[in-house]
Amino acid sequence: MASIEYQGRRLELAPGETVLDGLLAAGVDAPHSCRSGHCRTCVARALDVAPPAGSQEGLKDSWRELGLFLTCRAVPTEDMRIAATDDLGLEVGATVTAVERLSHDVVRLRLETDEPFEHRGGQFVTLVRVDGLARSYSTANVPGRDGFIELHVREIANGAMSGWIARELKPGGRVAVRGPEGECFYVHGRPEQPLLLVGTGTGLAPLFAILQEALAHAHSGRIVLLQGAVDERGLYLVDELRALAKLHPNFEYVRCLLRGEAQEGIEIGAIDAILRARIPALRGWRAYLCGNPELVFDLRKKVFLGGANSKEIHADAFVMKAPALAR
């Protein structure tokens, strides 16, 4: 049985227990959200031994070299000392410059960081509140062009962070950002390659960044964006996207609804069926899939089976808070 030492306390872990579960069971207010290795909010630092197998998967090299690891993926096989990451300077302070409604449940948040924050539009950042509450959000704009970070946040019922952002956060408010992470960003080169962008809800955020970046770089291949929602109320940025489609003949914008009436630009049905009908063979396509986790995991398989190369399928599943586990 392994133990961890954290802030001068030694905690015994049950066999197979993760570091995160051990910390939470001991009453430590350890930051976390998805508990499944997707959101990166639970990162901590190993001080004396190498992080447990698999707990550094997907982290950038500079973080791995610092001994950072995901506590929700870490099942230690030997005793280890760990620390929080607050003193490592991973976070950059930021001031809120705008909070505005994009739809009944989506707000646009704009942030200006105190120092340059290198990232590619579409990557996700960890947004950290002053009290340490942390959640991941995808960037939705072209950073080099705009000079700020834009996030699209869907307000979730009883959501600690999204509720606070939508209802309490105001211009002038202070937060911090950490990251960036993720592989959903526009890759330069091969401007003739067709691009498939599929997302539901605020899965549109990274796709909007990728689309703008591609168009700004005169991407000449076909670009197809499928924006999915249950009904029209679940859509946002419709006017902006329609305007872009008018301006760029290689960009096709399709709204995919489960409920409603089919009309120009709107198709009714499951998004995967609409995709199959529109693009029966995906060989040679580069695909970006973002948003609802079940949809992203399912579409990833289908896009691969449709002929896309697995290395050309980029996905960010917005895995949210998982229920606490009983010890």
Ligand X SMILES: Cc1cc2nc3c(=O)[nH]c(=O)nc-3n(C[C@H](O)[C@H](O)[C@H](O)COP(=O)(O)OP(=O)(O)OC[C@H]3O[C@@H](n4cnc5c(N)ncnc54)[C@H](O)[C@@H]3O)c2cc1C
Residues that bind ligand FES (CB under 6 A): 32-35, 37-42, 70, 72
Size of the site for ligand X (CB under 6 A): 28
Residues in region 188-207 near ligand X by CB under 6 A? 202, 205
The continuous run of DSSP H or E covering 236 comes out as: none
Residues in region 19-38 near ligand X by CB under 6 A? 33-34, 38
60 vs 246 by CB, closer to ligand FES = 60
39 vs 128 by CB, closer to ligand FES = 39
Chosen from ligand FES, ligand X, none, partner binding at 72 (C-beta under 5 to 8 Å by type): ligand FES
Of the candidate residues 108, 154, 178, 300, the single one contacting ligand X (CB under 6 A): 154
181 vs 213 by CB, closer to ligand FES = 181
The continuous run of DSSP H or E covering 265 comes out as: none
38 vs 219 by CB, closer to ligand X = 38
Of 321, 324, 323, 318, the closest CA to residue 106 belongs to 318
Smallest distance, Å, CB 78 to ligand FES? 21
Cα distances (Å, whole numbers) of residue 242 to 194, 236, 245: 19, 11, 5
Smallest distance, Å, CB 57 to ligand FES? 10
Task: Identify whether 143 is preceded by a cis peptide bond (ω within 30 of 0).
Answer: no
Smallest distance, Å, CB 322 to ligand FES? 8
CA dist., res. 278 & res. 276, Å (int)? 6
CB-based contact 297:290 (threshold 8 Å): no
Of 320, 290, 263, the closest CA to residue 201 belongs to 290
Of 307, 281, 303, 309, the closest CA to residue 290 belongs to 303
Chosen from ligand FES, ligand X, none, partner binding at 135 (C-beta under 5 to 8 Å by type): ligand X
56 binds ligand X (CB under 6 A): no
37 vs 93 by CB, closer to ligand FES = 37
137 binds ligand X (CB under 6 A): yes
Smallest distance, Å, CB 60 to ligand FES? 14
Helix axes 204-216, 238-247, angle to 10 degrees: 20
Strand partners, 178: 91, 126
Of 202, 187, 197, 162, the closest CA to residue 293 belongs to 202
150 binds ligand X (CB under 6 A): no
CA neighbours within 13 Å on the CB side: how many for 75? 8
Strand partners, 225: 197, 253
Of the candidate residues 160, 216, 273, 325, the single one contacting ligand X (CB under 6 A): 160
Chosen from ligand FES, ligand X, none, partner binding at 93 (C-beta under 5 to 8 Å by type): none
152 vs 178 by CB, closer to ligand X = 152
Interface region with ligand X, contact rule CB under 6 A, candidates 153-161, 217-225, 232-240, 265-273: 153-161
Which tokens in the block code for residue 48?
């004396």
User: Which x/- pattern, by CB under 6 A, does the window 278-307 give for ligand X?
Assistant: ------------------------------
174's CB contacts (< 8 A; 6+ apart) are 93, 94, 95, 96, 130
Q: Which residues bind ligand X (CB under 6 A)?
A: 33-34, 38-39, 124, 135-138, 152-154, 156, 158-163, 202, 205, 316, 318-323
